[in-house]
Structure 1
Amino acid sequence: MMANEALRRRRNVRRWTQTQVAERVCAQVQAATGRYPELDANWVSRLERGAITWPSGDYRAALCAVFQVTSEAELGLYPKGSAASGREPTPEAPADDVRSLAADTELSARLARYAAQTNVNALVLEQFDADVERLARDFVSRPLPLLVPEIRTARAEVFRLLEGRQHPSQTRHLYVVAGWLCGLAAHVSLDVGDRSAAATHARTVVQCAEIAEHSELRAWARSFQSLAAYWAGDYRRAADLAQAGQNEGRGPGTGTIKARLLSLEARARAAEGDNHSALRTLTLAHEARMAAGPDELSGVFSFPEAKQWAYTGTTLLAVGGDEQIQEAITASNRAVELYQAGPEGDRSSGDLRAAHLDLATAYFASGEVEGAGAKLSEVFAAETYTASITIRLRNLAALLGSEPYRGAQSAVDLRAHIREVTGRPALASNPTESR
C-alpha cells in the first residue's frame, strides 16, 4: 500500500486539517446531489495512507472541486488494478492513460448531474400559470384587499425559485410568471394613486419580458406605462410609449394588445391636441380589433370590446366638435351596454363608472344637463374611487366652473358634491385597471 503524498501535500499547502477537508467534501457533495454524506477525518486519513485509492464518483468530483484541480490524477487517485506511480501524476499524462480517461468521463458525468438540477417541474409551472390566470380574472371584480396578499405571496414564491437552479426554458417561464404578477402589483399601485411604485413594478415587468423574450408581456408593459403617463398628464410620453409597444422586438403579439396600444395612442394624441393623428389611430385600433386573435390571459390583461368603446368615447370627446361629441355619446353608450350585458365576474365597476363619466361630460358639452346628471348619479353611488376616476371627476368639476356653467345653481351643487366625494381615499373596493 503506497501513501498518497500528492493529496497530503495539497492539503498541507492549504493548511487544512483532515477534518476540514472532510467537511468541505461533504458540503460539495450536498450541493451537487442534495445528499449529505457521513465523511470524517478518518476517511481523509485512509485516502492519504493509500487505503482508498479510488472513492466513488461523487466523492472524487467533490475532491476535485475542493482542491480546484481538473482530474483525479492530480490528487494521486487511481482505480484499483491500475499502475500507481510513486510521484504526483500530472495532467499531461498520455491520452490512453486509464486515469486520464476516467477523469475525463467523470467531468462529463459532473456536467450532466449539474445540468439536471432544477427546483421546479412542469406541475409547479402549471400551477403558477393557473394562479396568474385566476388573479388576472378576479382583479376585475373581486375586492382589492382580498387579492393583494395573494399577489404578494405568489410573487415572493416565484422570486425565491428564481434564486435557485432551473433548466433555461423553466427559468424563462418563471420570468414570464413574475412579469405578469408584477403587472398586477403595478395595477394595484396605480389604482391607489402611487405612481412611483407603479413605475417601479412596470420597469420590472419590462425586465422580465426582455429576459424571457416574451413579446406579449413586453407590449403589455408598454401599454401600462403609457396608461400611467396619460394619468400623470404627460400625453406625449403616453403616445410614444404606446407606439413603442407596437414596434419593439417582434411586435405586440396576436391578441387584442395591438388594439389596446392603438387605442391608448389615439386617446393620448387627442389629449395632446393632435386631432388628425388621434382620429387616424382610432380607425387603426378598430381595424386591429377585427384582426385580433385570442389573448394569452383574460381579465385585466385582456382588452375587451367594452373597454375599446370606452376609449373611443374618451378620444372623441377630447377631439371635440358637435359631430365628434355625438359620436362620443354613441361610443360611451355602447361601452355601458357591453359592460352591463357581460358576465358579472367579468364586469368592471371602475370601467363602467368611467364610461358613465364620459357620457356625463359629453352630455354637458352638448347642452343636455339633465342627461349628464343622470349619468353622474351612477358614479356618485360608489363609496370609493380609483385614482383615475378621481382625476376624471376633478376634470369635470373644472369644466363646470367654466362658461357657460359657472353661474348655474345645478353646476355649483355638482361641483360641491364632486369636491366632497373626491376627498375620499383613492382606493377601490372593486378595483380595475385605471382607465
Structure 2
Amino acid sequence: MGAGVHVFLGDSLNGTGIGSLLVHLRTARGWSQQRVADEYNVLEGRHAKTGKEIGRYEREARIPVPYARRYLAQVFGVEVALLDRAAAVSKGRRGSEAGPVKGENEPLARSFPSSGIRGKTLSEDAARSAEFARFIARRNADEVVVEQVDADVGRLARTYVSHPLMEQYVEIKRLRDGVFELLRGRQHPRQTTDLCLSASRLCGLFAHVCLDLGDYGSAATHARTARASAAAAGHEGMLAWVRAVESLIAYWTGQYEQAARLAHEGRRHRASGSIRARLASLEARALAMVGDSVGALTALSDAEHAREAMSGRGEEPGIFDFPAAKQFAYAGTTLLAVGGRQHVQRAIGSARTAIRLYRSADGDDQSVGDLFAAHLDLARGHLLLGDLDGTEETLGFVLRSSPERMSASIVRRLTALGRELAGPQYGGATQAVHLRERLQHIAVRASSPAARPPESPT
C-alpha cells in the first residue's frame, strides 16, 4: 500500500471503529468478505476463517482479538497499530453503551438477581469456554489433507489391478497407517466421515492383497475393519462393496453357500454404480458351484439387468469399479460350472469377450489377474469340448507370463486345470501330459516366497 494511502488512513479514520475500518479496507480493494477470509487463511496456514466471520467483525458483533488483528493487518497491508486503535474505539463505545439504562426498556439480562454470582466466577466460566474452543480448533487434518488422502486412495485403487502386488502393498500399508493415525486425532465431523471412508477403502485394498496372497484369515480381518469403517462413514456403496469382498473370501475358502448369501445380502444395500452387477455375478458363480444351476443363471440375468440400468461407467476408481470385462469373466466361470455343451460354448464366448475388452482398455484398467483368469477359463472351455489344441493355444499367454504376477486364486486355477488334464478321458495323451507338467511347473514358481511381500500383511 502506498504512503499516501497510509496518511489517509491515519488522518481520516481517527476515531473510526474496527467494523467501519474493515469495511473501508475491504471495499477499497473491491473484495468480498469471503476473499478477505481466504487471504487470511492463506497467511495463517489453516482454513478456519469464513466470510461470515469477517461479516461479524464488520458489524462489530465480534471484535477481532489481537491474534486475528495481526493477520488482518497483513491481509490489508497496514500497520497493526491502526487496527488496534480502531478496536479500542469500538470497545470504548461498548463500555459506554453498557451503563445503566432506566425505564421499562431496561435489558432483560439486568433483571436477573445476582444469586451470589461474582465476576471471578463468570470469568472462570468464560475461560473454560475459551479453552474448549481452542480444543475444537486443534485439528490434525484439514480439507487439503483429506482431499490428498482421497486422491492417493483413488490412485492406488486404479493401479492395483495392473501394477505389481509388492509395489501396491508398500503404499497401501503406508497410507492406511497414516489414515488410522489421523483418525486418532481431531478433525471436523465431515472430515472424520471422509477419513472413515478412506480407511474403509484402504482396508478393502488390504483385504484384496491378502486374498491375492492366499491369506484368507487376514483378508477377513481387513474386511471386517473395512465394513466397520464404512458403517461409521454411513456409505451404502462401500458397505455393499465390502460384502462383495467377504463373498470372495468365502468362495475361495470353499464356503460357496455362504459366498452366495453374502453377495445376496450386499444387493440389499442402496448402492449405485456397478456394485449391483458385481454382487449378482458373485452370487451366480457361488450358486453354480453348489449345483444350483437355475439360481446361478437367474443371478447372471440379474447382473446383466444391473449393467443395463447403469448410466455410463461406474463412478468408483479401479478395483472399486466392476467393469464389463470383469463381468464377462465372471459369467464365463459361472457357465463352466453350470456345465453342459451349450453353457460351455457360451462360457467360451464370455471369456473371449472379457479378454478382448481387457486388451483394449487403458493401461491401468488392464487387470492382469482377470486376463489370466479369462485365459484359463477359455482353455478349460476348449478342454471340456475335447479340443486339446485350442487348450494349448489359449494357455500360451499364461505360460509365457511372469509367475510373480500370479495371485493365489490363479495358482489354484492352474492346479485344478492340471488335474483335469490327468483325467482318463485324455488317455495319457502326450500333449495332455506335456501341458500338465508345464502348468505344475509355473504353479510351483508362482507359489514361491519370491512372489510375496517381505513381511506378512497385517
Report the TM-score range of the alignment, normalised by the length of the smaller protein: 0.7 to 0.9
Aligned to 1:213: 234
- The structure-2 alpha-carbon separation of the partners of 1:336 and 1:233, relative to structure 1 and needing over 3 Å to count, comes to same
Q: Which runs of 5+ in 2 are unaligned?
A: 1-112, 454-458
Match of 1:317 among 330, 333, 336: 336
Aligned-partner Cα distance in 2 for 1:224–1:95: 64
Aligned-partner Cα distance in 1 for 2:114–2:411: 78
CA contact (8 A) 2:411 2:446 kept: no
Aligned to 2:379: 360
Aligned to 1:413: 434
Query: What amino acid maps onto 2:200 in structure 1?
Result: G
Query: What amino acid maps onto 1:273 in structure 2?
Result: G
1:203 aligns with 2:221: no
Deviation at 1:100, TM superposition (A): 4.5
TM-score normalized with structure 2 length: 0.70
Deviation at 1:101, TM superposition (A): 4.1
1:164 aligns with 2:182: no
Match of 1:274 among 275, 279, 292: 292
Aligned to 1:254: 272
Aligned to 1:185: 206
Aligned-partner Cα distance in 2 for 1:429–1:354: 18
Q: Which runs of 5+ in 1 are unaligned?
A: 1-91
Within 5 A, what are the aligned runs for 1:32-431? 94=115, 97-247=118-268, 251-293=269-311, 294-384=313-403, 385-426=406-447
Aligned partner of residue 271 in structure 2, secondary structure: coil
CA contact (8 A) 2:166 2:452 kept: no
- The structure-2 alpha-carbon separation of the partners of 1:252 and 1:314, relative to structure 1 and needing over 3 Å to count, comes to farther
Query: What amino acid maps onto 2:215 in structure 1?
Result: D
CA RMSD of aligned residues (A): 2.3
Deviation at 1:161, TM superposition (A): 1.1
Aligned-partner Cα distance in 1 for 2:398–2:345: 21
Deviation at 1:109, TM superposition (A): 3.5
Aligned to 1:75: none
CA contact (8 A) 1:239 1:264 kept: yes
Aligned-partner Cα distance in 2 for 1:315–1:423: 26
Aligned-partner Cα distance in 2 for 1:156–1:430: 20
TM-score normalized with structure 1 length: 0.73
Higher mean Cα deviation, 131-140 or 417-426?
Answer: 417-426
Aligned-partner Cα distance in 2 for 1:162–1:143: 29
Aligned residues between the structures: 338
Identity %: 46
Aligned to 2:75: none
- The structure-2 alpha-carbon separation of the partners of 1:370 and 1:307, relative to structure 1 and needing over 3 Å to count, comes to same
Query: What amino acid maps onto 2:443 in structure 1?
Result: T
Aligned-partner Cα distance in 2 for 1:147–1:199: 19
CA contact (8 A) 1:143 1:429 kept: no
Of structures 1 and 2, the one scoring higher in RCO (CA 8 A, sep 6+) is 1
Deviation at 1:129, TM superposition (A): 0.7
Structure with greater helix share of residues: 2
Aligned-partner Cα distance in 2 for 1:292–1:110: 51
Higher mean Cα deviation, 395-404 or 231-240?
Answer: 395-404
Aligned-partner Cα distance in 1 for 2:205–2:295: 31
Query: What amino acid maps onto 1:151 in structure 2?
Result: I
CA contact (8 A) 1:116 1:167 kept: no
Aligned-partner Cα distance in 2 for 1:321–1:150: 45
Aligned-partner Cα distance in 1 for 2:382–2:309: 33
